[in-house]
């Protein structure tokens, strides 16, 4: 589904990603962990098409297409979704209106006719239940005045509505208490299917108690320096990142 090959990216002349290689197959959940500043969020941003980053080499093939030449909206329409670490507040645009526009723009991209208001509302109500989003939040301006937990829940709600093939969760656990974390994780898990894949970017292991990964990768200084099964996350939780750093330095 997703194949990242020797991906290098920089911002303002500083190289952040220094040759990333990663294969994600349908149905898999990959966790990307690593200390602060290792490039985790940069990787998520580059995959979603954030324009501040300059890709200097490599390619990213998603469902057979190189997405690096695509605009963010085209990537979204192709089925890539980024749950933001810091969801943006947009005054004056209601969540419901925003999502309706998004759904219909994606349908247009795929050559499908737009959903009418009734069809859309029915679908949205079902999805809202998944993450316990109540109607009043949907009618409010997008993320404006939402608590940290509400914002993250809104990200997962949007994901449920857009039904992406590949979901990238960027530090979705940050700022969440244990109850909110559970709701968010349940939302993510309910969307898991053999056709869909998920990349979970996180600093801590605790989210992975709820969203159990098939693979764990450790990102350090812009490279994936270690990959392993889900137990690797537990090991990192127990021992921290220093031993990984030491290993890398010893080799390097």
Partner 1 sequence: MSTETIDLKTRLIADFHAREAVMNGEASSEFHQKKRAGLARFEKLGFPTIKNEEWKYSNVKDLISVSYEFNAQSSIGLAELEDLKVPKQDANILYFVNGIFNAGLSTIISPVEEITISSLGDAYKNNPSLVSSFFNELTADSEDAFTALNTAFAQDGVFINIPDNKSVALPIILRFVSDARSSNVGSQPRNIIAVGKNSHVKVAEAFRTLGGQRSFTNSVTEIHVAEEANVQYYKVQNESENAYHVGTTQVRMRDRSHFYAGTVTLNGKFTRNNLNIILDGEHCDAHMYGLYFPDGTQHVDNHTVADHCKPNSESNELYKGILRDKSKGVFNGKIFVRPDAQKTNAFQSCKNIVLSPEASMNTKPQLEIFADDVKCSHGTTTGQIDEEALFYMRSRGISRPEAMSLLMFAFCADVVSQIKIDSIREYLENVIIQKLASK
Interacting residue ranges for partner 1, rule: CB under 8 A = 48-51, 71-73, 75-77, 81-82, 84, 87-88, 90-93, 97-99, 101-103, 105-106, 109, 141, 158, 162
Helices 95-109 and 148-162 cross at an angle (nearest 10°) of: 30
The minimum distance between CB 166 and partner 1, in angstroms, equals 13
Sheet holding 54-62, edge to edge: 14-24, 2-11, 54-62, 65-66
Alpha helices in 133-194 (DSSP H): 135-139, 148-162, 178-190
Containing 26, the helix (H) or strand (E) segment is none
Which is nearer to partner 1, 34 or 164 (by Cβ)? Answer: 164
Q: How far is the CB of 221 from partner 1 (least distance, A)?
A: 26
Q: Which is nearer to partner 1, 40 or 223 (CB)?
A: 40
Asked if 242 and 55 touch (Cβ cutoff 8 Å), the reply is no
For partner 1, the closer CB: 84 or 215: 84
**For residues 70 and 74, what is the distance between their CA atoms, to the nearest angstrom?**
6
Residue 220 C-beta: closest distance to partner 1, Å: 26
Q: Cβ of residue 169: shortest distance to partner 1, in angstroms?
A: 13
Backbone φ/ψ region at 100: left (φ over 0), alpha (ψ -120 to 50), beta: alpha
- Of 109 and 243, CB closest to partner 1: 109
């Amino acid at each position: 589904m997703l194949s990242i090959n020797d991906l290098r990216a920089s911002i303002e002349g500083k190289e952040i990603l220094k040759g990333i290689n990663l294969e994600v197959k349908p149905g898999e959940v990959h966790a990307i962990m690593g200390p602060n500043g290792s490039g985790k969020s940069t990787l998520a941003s580059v995959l979603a098409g954030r324009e501040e980053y300059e890709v200097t080499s490599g390619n990213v093939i998603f469902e057979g297409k190189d997405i690096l030449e695509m605009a963010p909206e085209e990537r979204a329409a192709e089925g890539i979704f980024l749950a933001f670490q810091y969801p943006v507040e947009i005054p004056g645009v209601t969540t419901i209106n925003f999502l309706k526009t998004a759904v219909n723009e994606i349908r247009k991209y795929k050559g499908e006719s737009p959903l009418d208001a009734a069809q859309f509302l029915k679908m949205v109500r079902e999805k809202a239940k998944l993450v316990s989003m109540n109607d009043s939040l949907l009618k409010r301006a997008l993320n404006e005045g939402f608590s940290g937990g509400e914002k993250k829940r809104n990200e997962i709600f949007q994901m449920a509505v857009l039904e992406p093939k590949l979901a990238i969760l960027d530090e979705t656990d940050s700022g969440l208490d244990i109850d909110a974390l559970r709701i968010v994780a349940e939302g993510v898990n309910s969307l898991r299917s053999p056709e869909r894949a998920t990349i979970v970017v996180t600093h801590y292991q605790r989210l992975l108690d709820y969203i159990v990964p098939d693979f764990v990768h450790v990102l350090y200084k812009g490279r994936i320096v270690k990959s392993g099964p889900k137990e690797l996350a537990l090991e990192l939780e127990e021992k921290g990142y220093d031993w990984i750093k030491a290993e890398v330095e010893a080799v390097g």
